[in-house]
Every structure is written in C-alpha cells, then in structure tokens.
Amino acid sequence: MSIDHSSTLKTIRQYRKSNGLGPTDDIKLVPTSQGWPIFASTRYYEFVDAMVPGANVDRIIVKSQTSLDTDVSDEAASAPEMIMFSFTMPLSDKEATVDTIGEHAAELAAEDNLNAGLQAAKNAMDAYVKNIQETASA
C-alpha cells in the first residue's frame, strides 16, 4: 500500500533516524521487533486486518519507492513510501502446526544483525579514511 497519511510518514522518518537508517533504507519488522508496536498501530495495519480477517501479520516492510522518471540526484525530493504486510492464516485443528513465524523472525533478525554489522564496519572505515586524509593534509 502506498502511504499518504502525514502522521505515518512522520513516524517512518523518525523511526529511520532513531535507528540509524538512511532516508530510503528499508524497514523490516517481525512481531518480536522493538518497532513492531509503532507500525502495528497505524491505520494501514488496520486496513490489512479488515481486508484479511483472521490472518496473522508476521512481517511489516516499509520501502521507499523510486521511479525511473525521478531525478535521483536531487536528494531533497522525497520518495513515496510503501508499506507491505506478510501474513499467515491460522491452521485448522486438522492441520499440522508449523512454527514458520518463529523461523522467519529468526532469519530476519540474523539479516538485520548482519546488515547492522556491515554498516558499522563501513562507518568505521569511512572515519578511518577521513582521519588519514585529514592527517596527511595537515
């Protein structure tokens, strides 16, 4: 769903900033994520709940959309935001129970940890290179 609600757009900007994400970085959440309650209380979550009654939302992803006709060099232009939900339907009593939500949450958490580690390493390398350049020019 495209996001056109100003309060939700503000929430997205604040979440990215407070979590060290760039202005167009994806937000990926599972029910165990700290940010889950923030996005589960939006009108878009309510829309999904109304569209698919009885479904269990197991993932929320917020993405900035980019268009081929957008000048990506203009960082002042804001990209439209899109929110996506993944969900499962409850199993009937006759079906076997499978904990795919827990497995998927662990996979997403591992991916988030890896991405955070890579970003920290990049930030450290950038600071190191900047320090060397400043020292060399002094």
Q: What is the pLDDT of residues 71-88, one digit of tens each?
A: 555 554 456 899 999 887
Q: How far apart are CA 107 and CA 90, in angstroms?
A: 21
Least confident stretch, 18-32, 90-104, 109-123: 90-104
Report which listed range, 19-28, 56-65, 96-105, is most confident. Answer: 19-28
Task: Kindly tell me if the per-residue pLDDT of 115 is higher than 80.
Answer: no
pLDDT of residue 76: 45
- Rounded to the nearest 5°, which phi and psi values hold at 10? -65, -40
Spell out a b/e string for 46-58, using b for 16 or more CB atoms within 10 Å of the CB, else e.
eebeeeeeeeebb
Confidence of residue 30 (pLDDT cuts 50, 70, 90): very high
State the pLDDT at residue 94: 59
**Residue with more model confidence, 28 or 118:** 28
- 3-state DSSP assignment of residue 116: helix
Provide the 3-class DSSP secondary structure of residue 125.
helix
- What span, in angstroms and rounded, lies between the C-alpha atoms of 116 and 78? 24
Instruction: Put the strands of the sheet holding 27-29 in their side by side order.
Output: 27-29, 56-64, 81-88
